Amino acid sequence: MSKPFLSIERLTQKFPDGQGGELTVFENASFGVEKGEFVCILGHSGCGKSTIMNILAGLAEPTSGVVKMDGMEVSGPSLDRGVVFQNYSLLPWLSALKNVIFGVKARHPDWPRDKAEAHARDFLAKVGLEGDVVHRKPSQLSGGMRQRVSIARAFANHPKLLLLDEPFGALDALTRGTIQDELLKIWGGTEQTVFMITHDIDEAILLADRILLMTNGPFARVAESVEITIPRPRNRTEIVEHPNY
Ligand code: ADP
Ligand code: MG
């Protein structure tokens, strides 16, 4: 059998526990993600979800184990891996539009400014941001709008792998629902692989092709991952045509 697109092999993370000992967050965690899959990783607070994501993003190194994408070992950040954090991480001194253009120019330094701007506007429109609002700075946008900009910026870069760490965690339920729909729409037309962290089981069931559950029950000292395949495979086209799904 061929290797999956993203392969996490025997990943172990230990941290100093602050009392001279060691905290093992997870040990020998192994799983794979196929190209084009939308995988959610679900687990309670503190079980190591963000730690795994930072490792996949190349922002942190595990204690041991390797991550491979397209068969190549991941080390350090790369434009092939886009990241959306819970707290938006937009550049505060740039408008929404310029934040997205900044990302596009990083990916395509040879593109002329008007091409990069048209591309950025196109992706902002996909998440419902059009007109004057794109000229506002992050501080002048609502939380939902800021997260829309982050998502537009990430997708506009066409990363092979998109990593989302509780992107809707700070949003109210109504806004969350709308942006979840937009995320499915913007993703539905691509071949992009999405790895999203959440602690919301409804969100995982709504969005994912497959859910990885990080458990850390009373008898398990170390988180282990359990895989759940959604029994009803989603039809992407259907979701695009029925935005209220
Ligand atoms: P989650 O995202 O699932 O809520 P995290 O991955 O942020 O959890 O953290 C998992 C565990 O590792 C927590 O107990 C946290 O306190 C600990 N931890 C995370 N980062 C560090 C660090 N840099 N140093 C020490 N402990 C850490
Ligand atoms: Mg976290």
Ligand 1 in contact with 46 (CB < 6 A)? yes
Nearest CA to ligand 1 atom 13: 46
> Can you give the pTM of this predicted structure?
0.85
User: How many whole angstroms from 81 Cα to the centroid of ligand 1?
Assistant: 21
CA 47 to ligand 1: nearest atom: 3
pLDDT tens-place string over residues 198-231: 988 888 888 888 888 887 544 444 555 566 655 4
Q: Is the pLDDT of residue 237 over 50?
A: no
Q: Is the CB of 47 under 6 A from ligand 1?
A: yes
What atom in ligand 1 is closest to the CA of residue 165? Answer: 2
Ligand 1, atom 25, residue with closest C-alpha: 15
Residue 8 CA, ligand 2 centroid: distance in Å: 18
pLDDT per residue as tens digits for the range 28-79: 888 899 999 999 988 878 888 899 999 999 999 999 999 999 999 998 888 8
CA-nearest residue for atom 19, ligand 1, is 51
Q: What is the pLDDT of residue 210?
A: 87
Q: How far apart are CA 185 and CA 106, in angstroms?
A: 24
DSSP labels for the chain? -PPPSEEEEEEEEEEE-SSSSEEEEEEEEEEEE-TT-EEEEEE-TTSSHHHHHHHHHTSS--SEEEEEETTEEP-S--TTEEEE-TT----TTS-HHHHHHHHHHHH-TTS-HHHHHHHHHHHHHHTT--GGGGGS-GGGS-HHHHHHHHHHHHHHT--SEEEEESTTTTS-HHHHHHHHHHHHHHHHTS--EEEEEES-HHHHHHH-SEEEEEE--TT-SSBEEEEEE-SS---HHHHHH-TT-
> Does the Cβ of 50 fall within 6 Å of ligand 1?
yes
Q: Which pLDDT score, from 0 to 100, does residue 241 have?
A: 33
